[in-house]
Amino acid sequence: MTTGLIPGAPTPDGPTGGQMPHQRHDPAGREALHVDDRTRSSVITARAAASFEPVGRSVASARSFVRDTLQGWGFADIVDDAVVLTSELVTNAVVHAGTSADVLCLRSEDGVRIEVADRYPEREIPLQGSPVNMGSPDREGGRGLQLCAALAGRWGVDYSPTHKQVWFQLDLPERPVGTRAAGPALPLDLLPLADGRVRVAVVQIDRTGAISSWNEDAEDLFGYASEQVVGKPLTDFAAWPHTPGTSTGIAEALQLSRWEGSYGIRGADGRVTPVYASHLRVRDTDGEPSTVCLLVRNHERAVLQTPLRVPAGDSASDSTSTDPFEVFIGSPAPDDLDGLLQRTVERARDMLDGDSAFLLLATDDETELEVRASTGLPSARQRFARVPVEAGPGRYGSARMPAVHEDLTMVPGAVPLLRGTGMRSVVTVPLKVEGRLTGSLGVAAEGPGRYSNEEALRLQFAADRIALAVESARLGELERLRRGSLSFLVEASDLLAGTLDRDQTLALMAQMTVPTLATWCAVYTIADQASEPYLSYVLHEDEELIDGIKSLLSKIPPPDPVPTPGARVWSAPAESAHQAALRTSMRSLGLGEPVRRVSAGIGPTLATASAVGGETVVLPLVARNRVIGMLTLGKPTDEHFRQEILELAEDLSRRAALALDNARLYSERTAISQSLQRSLLPPELPEIDGVEVEVIYRAAGEGNEVGGDFYDLFPISDGAYGFAIGDVCGTGPNAAAVTGLARHALRLLAREGLSGPAVLDRLNSAILDEGARSRFLTLLYGEMRPQEDGSAELKVVCAGHPLPLRLRQDGTVEPAAEPQPLLGVMEDLELYEQTVTLDPGDVLLCVTDGVTERREGTRMLGDDGLADVLTTCTGLTAGAVAARIMRAVERFASDAPSDDMAILAMRVPEVHQD
């Protein structure tokens, strides 16, 4: 949609009128329509234009455009007729003709002219010599001209080669000179009720939407001093009602020349005060625009409210076929449920000349009614608030039959939705489809005794006409919601199944609910049945409010861990936040207890109170028949959850609970596994005088700390140390079990004073005794004794293991042992030990086959490649030698290692003589 608004633009005809921009061309051989096509003679003072695409939703957009434009011009008396006619004509263009529609609104001193043009001039209006019978009003289309003839003062059709244009003009009702509205003299007891002193808040808003003036009455009404609000946007304090089907928000309303209606102001105590407001757009002598807002409490709205259209009186009883609400019912309905419901309540209010109207839809089990549309009620009575279906058998006690309440003060609570709104009389009728309750439609007025059985019958007739269309649209909306819910749950399940990390699961739970299902959420977890719920995660769509909500929830007892499925209301957060805001406000005014510590200030406290002031629900997180936590969802002030959203949240909570419990079990088992694996690793390596030792160990596989490779260095006796490096066949837990057996057996046997071959022979027997769990083992075992001359003597046995390499000071590399049979294969082994002396500056390098068998395609590092790297390590410390070998292995191939690796480097330092 494209729009253009030009206040005060000159008339297209010039200042004195003239011919229309497109002259009417009657097709040859056809007679003219019997309509008044006189040209415009009034001066055009403003114009607004918009173009709409040929899609169904454009009809609702066109209605909103005309309604907003005419309300801004102050033409509230003719808004309804203009919107009905525009809806019909735009429907003809975008739905039936299938072209885009251009809508032009022209304002003059005595009324408004609206032109609707389409790009289908070939689809001409049928012409006859006598008045045209346009058919039944129950037809789906073709009533646009019939409505123009019935409602408009003048209308006509113009053709051009590319466009067909239908226009109509609505005149303002005549009023006595100097009189805007007047009413009869009334007895004192019938006058509107007000406080002893009526306070009218005068608030001025500058071009940017910020408050520039705030009078004393505004301070009294809302509790803010002038310096607290001047310079801040009005949107920070206004609780603007959501009106489905229209695009007017508070920012747009402040830009209109005039606006009048209801909304709320959040006071200093955190509560929302319903107000009735009248806005006037002005400019100062320098041309700077601003908006003056007059505000009174909603129950004192008579001080500011412009009287509604004059009741139809006797004409209303002439014929039910001319009832404007029934005319609307016969027209093509809006293609969305919200637009249909909102139009219904507006028409119902106008039909019975009410001050407000509301429509509620029944839940599937017909036990509750959910507010889906309203007009003339404060924002607290807006969408998705739920009230129980009254089950009493009397006409005043049931939502299943028409009911007329002459004075609600005599039957408090009869209509829960209207409690505290100032409405006195109300008529409600059920919406039924095939005998089943699908909803309730009501119209209310501020005065008592406004409605009788006659009005109930008229409203019931209209409700019967709209019930089937409403139910059809509701079922269509439910089907779309269910499809969206299935898609949402599938995506949520994929995300939750993709992680076993507890903290990440908590974060995903919160991020999936905010803002899709709720404005904020908190997740409580329960470690075991004896533990109290713990606040684990808090999220709000506004990150600046998270800390305030977390602080609030930490100060109140958590919800009870009830395993009963479904959402239950939890009022503690809203009540606690309200009390905190009240105490803060009183302290800021010098009342109440003195402040003994530094507080966060009234601003954050009020923001938190507003954030959690709406409906809060708790859903249990049940997994494996145990409550493991609670998912808490919340809305801001005056907002409620839809039943469909709560059902979706319940499905999500079941999936999230299982994912959270899986993450807990995985974390516990991972902790146990890591603890057991660490027990297989040797403790800290001993420091050996005269020998440098460095070890690098890498276990293959994610999450593994120990694999089939192992190492050890331990003292045997005074001056003697045992060292070992081995490789068990395979990787993972089974190999790690043999690793633990080998390492602990080596220590025990070596400290018994056995020689190296005897130690390995006993270990070989122990491995064979494991039977099916046994694994063959390659092992390099040796005993080392540092000598007084600075050298070190080693006795080595290499049982099937890669040979140790000796690096001399001159850079030569040679094997330091001979190969012998591996362990765990044969019972009788003939092993022997070899003696090696490491001179000062020499290095002994021991590795497992994960190092030498490192591959990149068909290439392998091998023994020769390892020796080449070692030749470059002359003069390096043991730690530097081990690090260089590891870097060479990692750079040899880009893939992650598939085998365990262990590197043991021992170096005898050079002797430095003083």
Nearest Cα residue to 688 out of 793, 758, 779? 793
pLDDT reading at 311 higher than 80: no
* DSSP secondary structure string for all residues of 182-194: ------GGGSPP-
Which residue in the block uniquely carries the two structure tokens 């309509």?
35
| φ and ψ at residue 127, rounded to 5 degrees | -115, 135
pLDDT reading at 97 higher than 90: no
Quote the pLDDT of residue 880: 93
> In the chain, what percentage of residues exceed pLDDT 70?
79
Choose the weakest-confidence range: 394-403, 595-604, 659-668: 595-604
Which residue in the block uniquely carries the two structure tokens 């969802």?
633
d(CA 536, CA 553): 11
d(CA 144, CA 118): 14
Instruction: Please state, as a whole number, how many other Cβ atoms lie within 10 Å of the Cβ of residue 755.
Output: 16
The 10s digit of each residue's pLDDT in 44-89 is 888 888 888 887 678 878 887 888 788 777 777 788 788 888 888 8
Per-residue buried b or exposed e for 306-324, using 16+ beta carbons within 10 Å of the residue's own CB: eeeeeebeeebeeeeeebb
d(CA 602, CA 383): 29
The 10s digit of each residue's pLDDT in 571-585 is 888 888 878 777 776
Nearest Cα residue to 877 out of 837, 914, 845? 845
Which element (helix H / strand E) includes 779?
Answer: strand 777-786
**Average confidence (pLDDT) over 803-823:** 92
Cβ partners under 8 Å of residue 53, min gap 6? 1, 94, 100
Quote the pLDDT of residue 307: 62
Side-chain half-sphere CA neighbours of 119 within 13 A: 10
Quote the pLDDT of residue 132: 43
**Is the previous residue joined to 515 through a cis bond, with omega within 30 degrees of 0?**
yes
pLDDT reading at 253 higher than 70: yes
Residue 742: pLDDT band (50, 70, 90) is: confident
pLDDT reading at 274 higher than 80: yes
Side-chain half-sphere CA neighbours of 832 within 13 A: 5
Nearest Cα residue to 688 out of 582, 838, 801, 805? 838
Which residue in the block uniquely carries the two structure tokens 């969206």?
484
Quote the pLDDT of residue 723: 93
Which residue in the block uniquely carries the two structure tokens 């051989």?
29
- Residue 264: beta bridge partners? 239, 274
What does the block give as tokens for 712?
């050890």
DSSP-derived letter for residue 95 is: I
Quote the pLDDT of residue 204: 95
Between 393 and 827, the higher pLDDT residue: 827
The one-letter amino acid at 69: T
- For β-strands 289-297 and 272-283, DSSP reports them as antiparallel
pLDDT reading at 593 higher than 70: no
**Average confidence (pLDDT) over 643-668:** 83
pLDDT reading at 567 higher than 90: no
Quote the pLDDT of residue 16: 35
Quote the pLDDT of residue 6: 41
- Kindly report whether the global pTM for this prediction surpasses the value 0.95: no
Nearest Cα residue to 525 out of 572, 567, 561, 573? 561
- The rounded radius of gyration (Å) of the Cα atoms in the chain is 43
**Average confidence (pLDDT) over 475-504:** 77
Q: Supply angle C-alpha 827, 828, 829, rounded to 5.
A: 115
Nearest Cα residue to 118 out of 81, 74, 72, 166? 166
d(CA 20, CA 674): 88
Between 427 and 40, the higher pLDDT residue: 427
Nearest Cα residue to 389 out of 422, 366, 420, 365? 366
Quote the pLDDT of residue 872: 92
Instruction: Please state, as a whole number, how many other Cβ atoms lie within 10 Å of the Cβ of residue 270.
Output: 25
Quote the pLDDT of residue 34: 40
Quote the pLDDT of residue 80: 79
Task: Show the DSSP H helices in 729-845 as ranges.
Answer: 733-750, 756-768
pLDDT reading at 497 higher than 90: no
d(CA 782, CA 785): 10
CB 209 within 8 A of CB 238: no
d(CA 649, CA 565): 11
Nearest Cα residue to 69 out of 107, 99, 110? 107
pLDDT reading at 29 higher than 50: no
Average pLDDT taken over every residue of the chain? 78
Choose the weakest-confidence range: 57-61, 96-100, 124-128, 678-682: 124-128
d(CA 233, CA 274): 19
**Average confidence (pLDDT) over 22-30:** 37
d(CA 314, CA 676): 93
pLDDT reading at 317 higher than 50: no
d(CA 342, CA 335): 12
Quote the pLDDT of residue 384: 62
Helix 602-611 with 572-588: angle, nearest 10 deg: 160
DSSP-derived letter for residue 408 is: G
CA distances from 134 to 32, 127, 137, 760 (A): 16, 11, 8, 110
Choose the weakest-confidence range: 24-38, 245-259, 263-277: 24-38
